[in-house]
Structure 1
């Protein structure tokens, strides 16, 4: 679980995060949404420890990050997995080598132990015949699955995803959403996803935090978002034609 209390972050005179407080629970897919410039990327990078807030506290399983020693922060970082927007695979490494990379970096496992783990996670993301392929030899959707396999190779307690569906067709995006959701529930991971994809909101948004101009304007589930009268939320989510249709269906069913 991650708890955020009164988080503030500025760059020069630009006040990006303005007192954001929320909780991200384990075993749930937690989504951060908002327009460009809302602060969601800065928020995600603050959770990762890449940015240091001027005010506020981030707790990881009730332990404040600001009070951790250097060794404790290193240990925490080893419990984090990250799926980057562009997958961020090493072009010169095979799929197997990409997935094995964090195991070589952060563990003392033997070669056979690492190989067993790589085989397991690649099978878990339905990539059983891609070990020796280079990223350029597989599709964008397969690259995302490799990125997920690499992110969970070291059995993380926290999984962070930055626009995981970026550049994917709608059908493949749903596959990636479902895979992240399944893995989150299966391994009881605290998963935080930065996204603008309204399909993701509807499919896997168990907890949604909506940011606007650095403020937390709203939070709730994908079911509750259809009921809100918050103008900032409705202006954002109902700009999607899909959401308009689903909203109308919800109103008709309620009536």
Structure 2
């Protein structure tokens, strides 16, 4: 479990995070949502250890990150998988080489062991036939799958995804959502996703944390979000007529 307790973060006079407390459990897809400027990117980067909180704590399975020794922090980082918004693949490396990169950097595995592990995760994301191709030779959706394969190649306990559906068509976005949820459940990973995609929220939001002006304004599931009367949430989620109709249909049925 990841436990966040009274998290504050400022940049100069800009108080971005204002006392956020929440938990993220393993085997669940946890989504962070909110408008631009709500603090969700700073929150995600704080969870990753990129930003150091001014106040409050972040615990990984009972270990408070700020209290760990440097070698313990390095060890914890090997348990973190990250899917970046733009995939962040190395253009000069093949798919296989991109996925193998973390193993070369952080593991002591033999070349054959690394190759076996890479084959395993590429098969899991249905990309074995693309292993010798370069990022420029594959589609955006395939690049996202490569990024997911690279993120899980070290068998992480924690998976973080920053706007994983950015730039994808709706059909491919659904495939990526389903893949992330399947991997989360299959390997019982603690997955935290920073997203603005309301389709993702409705489809895989097993827990949703809604931020507004640096404050946790609401949290719940994708089922509970249909029923909430929280004005900030309804203004954000149901800004389109489509979702208003979906919400009304859900209320009528229940």
TM range (shorter): over 0.9
CA-based RMSD of the aligned residues comes to 0.6
CA distance in 2, matches of 1:145, 1:240: 29
Look up the match of 1:130. 130
Q: How does 1:1-255 map to 2 (within 5 A)?
A: 1-254=1-254
Shift of 1:128: 1.6
Partner secondary structure for residue 9 of structure 2:
strand
CA distance in 1, matches of 2:10, 2:236: 24
Partner secondary structure for residue 130 of structure 2:
coil
Contact 2:227 2:251 (8 Å CA) reproduced: no
Shift of 1:209: 0.1
CA distance in 2, matches of 1:241, 1:65: 43
Contact 1:30 1:193 (8 Å CA) reproduced: yes
CA distance in 1, matches of 2:157, 2:243: 32
Shift of 1:77: 0.3
Using structure 1 for the length normalisation, give the TM-score: 0.99
CA distance in 2, matches of 1:241, 1:141: 28
Partner secondary structure for residue 128 of structure 2:
coil
Shift of 1:241: 3.5
Which stretches of structure 1, 4 residues or more, deviate above 4 A after TM superposition?
none
CA distance in 1, matches of 2:104, 2:218: 41
CA distance in 1, matches of 2:125, 2:245: 32
Shift of 1:66: 1.1
Ranges in structure 2 where 5+ consecutive residues have no aligned partner: none
CA distance in 2, matches of 1:215, 1:111: 47
Contact 1:6 1:57 (8 Å CA) reproduced: yes
Contact 1:79 1:157 (8 Å CA) reproduced: yes
Using structure 2 for the length normalisation, give the TM-score: 0.99
Partner secondary structure for residue 129 of structure 1:
helix
Shift of 1:242: 3.3
Q: May I ask how many residue pairs the two structures share in their alignment?
A: 254
Contact 1:27 1:191 (8 Å CA) reproduced: yes
User: How far does the alpha carbon of each residue in 1:31-65 deviate from its partner, in whole angstroms, 9 at most, with x for none?
Assistant: 00000000000000000000000000000001111
CA distance in 2, matches of 1:174, 1:241: 21
CA distance in 2, matches of 1:149, 1:240: 34
Contact 1:198 1:240 (8 Å CA) reproduced: no
Shift of 1:245: 2.3
Contact 1:5 1:57 (8 Å CA) reproduced: yes
Contact 2:163 2:194 (8 Å CA) reproduced: yes
Ranges in structure 1 where 5+ consecutive residues have no aligned partner: none
CA distance in 1, matches of 2:214, 2:103: 36
